[in-house]
């Protein structure tokens, strides 16, 4: 191994933890100065400029199997050091004694040959065939390999933090006895009182008063059951034809007043526990986000802007750690809102909103490939794909959806793109699917916002583009699609 690599490895073992923290903060020019001082103590001189030093770091990183982790910055040379993997550096120092570097290592990255570099993955692989690898495997390699496969401290802390700050809600089972629902519906509703007006349905509190006032008319089993389980009371109006069966859309039916299918009223249990956090102070637990880990900042109040998204200069909005985009895709069907053409959506300067971070892009069946193309065009790498499995009011999967030309769509797709190297993301906390009920047209499940907040931190800047009025949330900046350039709030 070249002598400068050996000295550089020793340098990172001594100063690795310090140079990524203040006051050096991983800046390459300050590390170059510290390295020059380090070499002077060993009787060597180092007067190379910043580009030469950064080239040395790149070559060192290549041989050490990415022992150094960088992220992009605006300062020359365009990156800064954020993490030093001491284990990889330590193993790299031991490689020459194992006879790995049998040929001189070239001094330019382009000159590297894969056979000349010692891959730590090969070194630790159980099937390695070389004598030095086998001798290492017999001793410590398997233990080291098992250690490397363990979740990092960041992943463990992120999972524990998510448990602490996630609101726990009581789950109630639904009553599967249809006679209970019919008896309660007959007591609380009748066709004359309902008529054709579903918009004036009584609240759960008023229904409870009716039940309690007439409890003597109810069987004891029905009265006790409605306290502990969810009941779906059939709504039979003057226009309902029970022979047609249940409405496919139920409470989200667009033609609720004239629909002839059966709809339902949701009666929640009377004994509902209040939502709570296990620890009232846990919301201020360790919060990883863009910037310095562990620093807790206040959550911004809701902010929103109503404008023509196609004409807004995105640069005035600043940078965001996470973005949710629910474009108004033109699905060639009649929709109750305006849509954008594919070319208009692809031309949006989304690349101006993030230097590094995560973007969640909702796509329809027709626009999946267009969404992939858009992410690539904006500078993102697709890391995951999520799906939202839709449930109706009765907590059942929707068999007949409103979308789909050939097959009924009972789910929606979400493409996740990563930009840059956001090491501060809380990885491996949530799953890649959401099972949740449908609500108003184009309204997405609230669970996604919780996932994003666990991923980037509640106090990180988060943007939702193509939002709706019901999307306004603490810590989020929302952009509503309108065709008039009207501001509804300040940007600050």
For the segment 221-248, the average pLDDT, to the nearest whole number, is 88
Confidence of residue 462 (pLDDT cuts 50, 70, 90): very high
Mean pLDDT lowest among 26-40, 154-168, 283-297: 283-297
Q: Whole-angstrom Cα distance, residue 375 to residue 380?
A: 5
Farthest CA pair distance, the chain: 98
Neighbour-count burial of 104, counting CB atoms closer than 10 A to its CB (0-12 exposed, 13-18 middle, 19+ buried) = exposed
Confidence of residue 222 (pLDDT cuts 50, 70, 90): very high
Tell me the pLDDT of the chain averaged across its residues.
Answer: 76
For the segment 435-463, the average pLDDT, to the nearest whole number, is 86
Q: Using alpha carbons, list the distances in angstroms from residue 206 to 6, 210, 394.
A: 78, 7, 21
Confidence of residue 431 (pLDDT cuts 50, 70, 90): confident
Q: Give tens-digit pLDDT for 81-124.
A: 988 888 888 887 776 554 444 334 443 433 444 443 444 455 44
The pLDDT of residue 362 is 92
Whether this model's pTM surpasses 0.95 = no
Region of 318 please: left (phi>0), alpha (psi -120 to 50) or beta: left
3-state SS assignment for residue 263: strand
Query: Is residue 124 within 8 Å of 242, Cβ to Cβ?
Result: no
Query: Is residue 453 within 8 Å of 475, Cβ to Cβ?
Result: yes
pLDDT higher at 51 or 273: 51
Percent of the chain residues topping a pLDDT of 90 = 14
For the segment 195-210, the average pLDDT, to the nearest whole number, is 76
Find residue 233's DSSP bridge partners. Answer: 265
Which DSSP symbol is given to 151? P
Q: Whole-angstrom Cα distance, residue 204 to residue 35?
A: 70
CB atoms within 10 A of CB 139: 9
pLDDT higher at 347 or 470: 347
Residue 45 is encoded by which pair of tokens? 């001189």
Strands 68-72 and 79-84: antiparallel
For the segment 153-181, the average pLDDT, to the nearest whole number, is 78
The pLDDT of residue 221 is 92
Query: Is residue 437 within 8 Å of 447, Cβ to Cβ?
Result: no
Which residue is it, tokens 């550096």? 89
Query: Is residue 235 within 8 Å of 267, Cβ to Cβ?
Result: no
Neighbour-count burial of 40, counting CB atoms closer than 10 A to its CB (0-12 exposed, 13-18 middle, 19+ buried) = exposed
Q: Whole-angstrom Cα distance, residue 390 to residue 251?
A: 13
Q: Whole-angstrom Cα distance, residue 474 to residue 299?
A: 7
């Amino acid at each position: 191994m070249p002598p400068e690599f050996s000295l550089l490895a020793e340098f990172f073992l001594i100063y690795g933890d310090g140079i990524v923290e203040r006051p050096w903060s991983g800046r390459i020019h300050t590390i170059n100065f510290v390295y020059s001082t380090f070499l002077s103590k060993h009787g060597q001189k180092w007067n190379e400029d910043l580009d030469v030093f950064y080239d040395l770091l790149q070559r060192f990183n290549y041989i050490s199997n990415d022992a150094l982790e960088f992220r992009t910055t605006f300062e020359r040379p365009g990156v800064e050091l954020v993490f030093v993997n001491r284990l990889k550096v330590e193993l790299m120092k031991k490689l020459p004694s194992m006879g790995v570097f049998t040929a001189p290592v070239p001094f330019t990255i382009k000159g590297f040959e894969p056979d000349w570099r010692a891959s730590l993955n090969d070194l630790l692989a159980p099937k390695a065939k070389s004598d030095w690898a086998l001798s290492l495997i017999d001793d410590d390699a398997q233990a080291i390999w098992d250690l490397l496969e363990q979740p990092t401290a960041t992943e463990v802390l992120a999972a524990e933090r998510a448990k602490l700050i996630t609101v726990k809600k009581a789950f109630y089972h639904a009553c599967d006895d249809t006679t209970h629902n019919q008896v309660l519906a007959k007591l609380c509703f009748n066709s004359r009182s309902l008529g054709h007006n579903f918009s004036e349905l009584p609240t759960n509190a008023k229904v409870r008063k009716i039940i309690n006032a007439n409890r003597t008319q109810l069987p004891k089993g029905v009265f006790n059951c409605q306290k502990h389980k969810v009941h779906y009371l059939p709504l039979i109006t003057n226009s309902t034809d029970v022979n047609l069966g249940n409405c496919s859309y139920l409470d989200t039916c667009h033609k609720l007043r004239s629909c002839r299918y059966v709809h339902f009223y949701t009666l929640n249990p009377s004994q509902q526990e209040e939502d709570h956090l296990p620890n009232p102070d846990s919301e201020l637990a360790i919060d990883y986000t863009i910037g310095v880990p562990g620093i807790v900042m206040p959550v911004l109040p809701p902010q929103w802007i109503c404008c023509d998204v196609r004409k807004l200069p995105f640069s005035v909005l600043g940078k965001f750690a996470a973005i949710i985009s629910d474009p108004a895709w033109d699905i060639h069907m009649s929709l109750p809102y305006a849509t954008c053409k594919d070319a208009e959506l692809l031309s949006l300067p989304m690349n101006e909103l993030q230097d590094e971070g995560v973007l969640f892009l909702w796509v329809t069946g027709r626009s999946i490939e267009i969404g992939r193309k858009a992410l690539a065009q904006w500078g993102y790498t697709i890391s995951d794909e999520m799906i939202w499995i839709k449930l109706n009011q009765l907590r059942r999967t929707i068999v007949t959806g409103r979308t789909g030309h050939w097959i009924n769509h009972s789910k929606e797709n979400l493409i996740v793109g990563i930009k840059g190297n956001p090491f501060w993301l809380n990885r491996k906390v949530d799953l890649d699917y959401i099972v949740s009920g449908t609500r108003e047209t184009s309204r997405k499940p609230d669970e996604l916002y919780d996932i994003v907040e666990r991923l980037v931190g509640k106090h990180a800047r988060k943007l939702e583009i193509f939002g709706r009025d019901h999307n306004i949330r603490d810590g989020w900046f929302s952009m509503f699609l309108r065709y008039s350039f009207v501001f509804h709030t300040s940007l600050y």
